[in-house]
């Protein structure tokens, strides 16, 4: 548990993995900026964060903030609010916001241009906008974790825009690591496999068994598996790990 609370900014935190991240960081002693385009959902997460008890019996502070990660003005406003909330600095950024639920698998020649552009804007431009805006207020030795996807390794058919956007996140992570490393800031990516979030459960009836037979570990991925990997990369124990992609898929694919 942190002796001094860190300020953690998490995008896409209105629900799903983002909410799980927020609760996990709070539980270990951090204060959390819950950022999402869905303000009502972000506020619900912030209430849960503020109600959760830490190991020492105290509660975390939480700030809900409405943000459009594709917008310079919106991410700049978030950076200013997060810095004020954190006493002038931000210590951890988790770029989790992405378009995933609601995407239909479509042959690449049939994907609508506006959908392609939207997926790229949120999934790839979003992490850049966030780090660009937050860079001036990141503390020495800050941690950045970008959410990619293990589907980049398989090149999942009929999902070209999603796979390409998440592949771009890995490339962007490496550039960020090079550019920010001089300040002791680490930048890494987590690439989850198919994980049993509500969004995944809504995709198919057999979500709980999907792909389990292909894994080295014969069980479905749970949100806690992704949360644990993210907490590690955001910790002091990972201070010499940067520019890397941690695949969390039970050994279905290997880098």
Contact between residue 86 and residue 4 where contact means Cβ atoms under 8 Å apart: no
Which strand ranges, in their side-by-side order, compose the sheet holding 90-95?
62-66, 31-36, 7-11, 90-95, 138-147, 186-192, 245-248
Q: Residue 247: which H helix or E strand, with range?
A: strand 245-248
Contact between residue 145 and residue 188 where contact means Cβ atoms under 8 Å apart: yes
Rounded to whole angstroms, the Cα distance separating 43 from 112 reads 33
Contact between residue 220 and residue 186 where contact means Cβ atoms under 8 Å apart: no
162 is an active site residue? yes
Rounded to whole angstroms, the Cα distance separating 249 from 228 reads 13
In 3D, which of 233, 214, 232 has the Cα closest to residue 150? 214
Tokens of 154: 């398989």
Tokens of 142: 């800050």
DSSP summary character for residue 52: S
Catalytic residue among 100, 162, 210, 240: 162
Tokens of 69: 């990660």
- Which residue do the tokens 């792909």 mark? 211
The residues that are catalytic are 162
């Amino acid at each position: 548990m942190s002796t001094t609370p860190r300020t953690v900014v998490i995008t896409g935190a209105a629900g799903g993995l983002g909410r799980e991240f927020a609760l996990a960081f709070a539980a270990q002693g951090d204060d959390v900026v819950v950022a999402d385009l869905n303000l009502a959902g972000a506020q619900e997460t912030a209430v849960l964060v503020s109600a959760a008890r830490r190991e020492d019996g105290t509660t975390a502070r939480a700030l809900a903030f409405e943000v459009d990660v594709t917008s310079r003005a919106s991410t700049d406003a978030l950076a200013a609010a997060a810095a004020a909330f954190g006493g002038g600095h931000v210590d951890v950024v988790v770029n989790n916001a992405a378009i995933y639920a609601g995407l239909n698998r479509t042959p690449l020649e049939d994907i609508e241009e506006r959908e392609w552009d939207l997926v790229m804007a949120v999934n790839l431009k979003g992490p850049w906008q966030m780090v660009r805006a937050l860079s001036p207020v990141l503390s020495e030795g800050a941690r950045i974790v970008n959410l990619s996807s293990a589907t980049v390794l398989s090149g999942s058919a009929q999902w070209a825009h999603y796979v390409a956007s998440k592949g771009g996140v890995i490339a962007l992570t490496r550039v960020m690591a090079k550019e920010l490393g001089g300040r002791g800031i680490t930048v890494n990516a987590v690439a989850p496999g198919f994980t049993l979030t509500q969004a995944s459960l809504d995709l198919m009836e057999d979500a709980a068994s999907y792909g389990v037979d292909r894994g080295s570990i014969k069980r479905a991925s749970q949100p806690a598996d992704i949360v644990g990997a993210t907490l590690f990369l955001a910790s002091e124990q990972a201070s010499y790990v940067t520019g890397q992609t941690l695949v969390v898929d039970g050994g279905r694919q290997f880098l």
